[in-house]
Each structure stands twice: as C-alpha cells, then as structure tokens.
Chains A and B, each alone.
Chain A
Amino acid sequence: MHFSINATLLDGCVLAVLEQGNAYGYSLTQRLRQEIDISESTLYPVLRRLQKDNCLTVYDEQFQGRNRRYYSITPAGRNRLAEYRVEWGSYRAKIDHILVGGMQDG
C-alpha cells in the first residue's frame, strides 16, 4: 500500500465505526485493522484526542468480572463526522479528477 492514512482520516474512521455502535478499545482497533493497516498502538492517542474535543465519551461496564471502557459518539462527534464526510466527498472528487480522470478538460 503506497497511501498512508493521516490523523484526520483516522479520526473520521473511528467516529464512523462508533456511529455504528459503542465499542471498547480492543474491539475498535481490531475492527479498523480488518480494513486498514494501523498498528496496535495507533488508537490510544486518537481516542484521547477525540475525547478531549468532546466528540466521544467513555463509560465503564463490567464484563466477565473485568472492566471494559466503552467509547460512545456524542452529538458533537456526529457533527464532526458529518463535516468530515462532506469534506472527504469533495476531496475525493478532486483526487479522482486528477488521478483517475487525468484532468483532460482542466
């Protein structure tokens, strides 16, 4: 893979997964790792940053006698995700235009 994912894209991907339902750190990482090549240590700073920006909240739940910290998307997080989706749409269109369309009519 020649393309790398940047921090903003990663934020968007995490928010998008959380939009599908709450998740804990390990499940979230494994979910993303099914699609993109990120390391096991990538997600902590992302989650921490999103939490600081109030895009997600955490809560603890007992599971088989141990604690699981779940992450849940907030309304602010949904707004940001919506913004990212719009931006991504136009960004992708531009790149497509150059990379795929060859910009012949430019």
Chain B
Amino acid sequence: MDKETYLRFLRALLMNRLPAEDAEDIVRFYTEYLTEAGPDREKEVMAALGSPEELTAKIMEQRAKEEAEGIREPYGPAPKAYTIPNASGLPRWLGIVLVAFLGLMMVPAMGCLFLVFGGTGIGIIVCGALIIAFCAFGVGLGSMVFAFGAALVLISVGSLLVQAARGILWLLKKAIKNLWNVLVEEEVSIHEAID
C-alpha cells in the first residue's frame, strides 16, 4: 500500500468515527509524519503504525480513554458499513464511464498525431535512404558528399519524428492509466462490525 492510499484509508476510517475537524487534524499529522520520514523510511513507519484499520483502532482506544477520564466529550454514532472512495471520490461505475469516455475522445486525436508524426518520419527516412541510394550511381564527388550529408540530416529528422510518435503512444497509455487510477482504482468496501 503506498502512502497516498494509506492516508486515504485512514482518513475515511477516521471520518466515519470522529468529528471531521479531529479526523482532518490526525490525517494532517500523519501525512506530514510520513512525508518527513521520506521515501526511505516511509514503508517502515507505515508498518510500525500498523494498517490504517489498526492505527484507527489505536486512536479510538486512546480516545475512549480520554473520554473516560473526562478530557473529551463522547462522540457520535457507531461506524457502519461503507465504501472508501477512490482518489476522485466518484462512484466506481461513474469512474469507468468517465475513463471510457475520455479515452474514446483521446484515442482519435492522439492516433492522428501518431500517424502524422510516424508517417512523416518514416517518409522522410525513406527519402534520405533514396538519396543515398541515388548517390551510389555517382554524380560528381562534390554533389555526392552534399547529397549524402543532406540524406543523413533527413534520416535524423525522420527518426526524431518516429520517436515523437512513440512518445505520443506512451503519453496516451500513461494518461489512460492515470485516469483509471484516479477515477476507478483503490475503491474498497469495508463492512465493519457495528459496535
């Protein structure tokens, strides 16, 4: 479980049990805490804190003690069955619909760009290759060197365009994957015992 997911779960669990202000304050503390621990210690600290459920249990136990000592007012309703939202907070079906919709919109545009860049790139590379081929049939030495240089430039430009086309495909994949992560992924239902 990565840091963001951990904190999202913690937040959802606490929100269901504590006044929003208190829950936010705790999540804020642990967000900062994990950030300060840094990427190297982050996993270790999360393991030491326990799962979001375990940490929540510890926090609630502490809180119950404080309530018993009269430091705090008792708070509210027992937790019920609920769903921890994904990062966007949208329901899963809506997330999937949105990803499909945005994906469909992106695919033609990106596809066109891919074809334009890729096609142009390959075309230019072919031109360069043809020029080199013609050079083999010997014109004067001077123009041969010139033509060869020009051909090399063409091939380089063509390769760059082909790389750009590959980059576009990569972007498309990445964009769809990120959309999926934010809109759909990580939604988990928790059905807690009602105490």
Interface positions of A (Cβ within 8 A of B): 24-27, 29, 39-41, 44-45, 47-49, 52, 66-69
Nearest-Cβ distance from residue B54 to partner chain A, whole angstroms? 9
- Given A41-B55, A44-B29, A45-B62: A26 touches B36 (CB 8 Å cut-off): yes
Apart from A41-B55, A52-B71, A68-B36, 10 more pairs, CB < 8 Å: A25-B36, A26-B32, A26-B36, A27-B36, A41-B58, A44-B29, A47-B29, A48-B25, A69-B29, A69-B32
Chain A residue numbers with a CB within 8 Å of B26 are 44
Whether B33 is near chain A, meaning CB under 8 Å from some CB there, is: yes
In angstroms, Cα B30 to Cα A48, docked, is 13
B24 within 8 A of A: no
Contact assessment for B33 and A26 in the assembled complex, using a CB-CB cutoff below 8 Å: yes
A48 to B72, CA, bound (A): 12
Q: Which residue of B lies closest to A45 (CB)?
A: B62
CB neighbours of B36 from chain A (8 A): 24-27, 68
Whole-angstrom distance between the Cβ of B70 and the nearest chain A Cβ: 13
Which of A25, A29, A45 lies in contact with B66, CB distance below 8 A? A45
B28 touches A66 (CB 8 A): no
Say whether B45 faces chain A, with CB atoms less than 8 Å apart: yes
Q: Residues of B contacting A49 with CB < 8 Å? A: 66, 71
Does B88 interact with chain A (Cβ within 8 Å)? no
Instruction: Write out the residue numbers on chain B whose beta carbons fall within 8 Å of the beta carbon of A69.
Output: 28-29, 32
Residues of B within 8 A of A66 (CB): 32, 35
List B57-72 residues whose CB lies under 8 Å from chain A: 58-59, 62-63, 66, 71
Report B48-60 CB contacts with A as 1/0, cut-off 8 Å: 1110000100110
Nearest opposing residue in chain B for A29, CB measure = B33
- Chain B proximity of A25: nearest CB distance (Å): 5
B37 close to A (CB within 8 Å): yes
Residues in B1-50 with C-beta less than 8 Å from chain A: 25-26, 28-30, 32-33, 35-37, 45, 48-50
A25 to B30, CA, bound (A): 9
Query: Are B49 and A40 in contact, CB atoms less than 8 angstroms apart?
Result: yes
Cβ of A25 and Cβ of B58 under 8 Å apart?
no
In the complex with contacts A45-B62, A49-B71, A40-B32 CB distance below 8 A = no
- Whether A24 touches B48, Cβ cut-off 8 Å, given contacts A44-B26, A49-B71, is no
B37 contacts A26, CB within 8 Å?
A: yes
Inter-subunit contact A41/B49 (CB<8 Å): yes
Interface residue from B32, B50, B55 paired with A24 (Cβ < 8 Å): B32
* Residues of A with C-beta under 8 A to B59: 41, 44-45
CA distance A41 to B58 in the complex (A): 8
**B49 CB, min distance to chain A CBs, angstroms:** 5
Once bound together, how far apart are the Cα atoms of A25 and B49, in whole Å?
A: 14
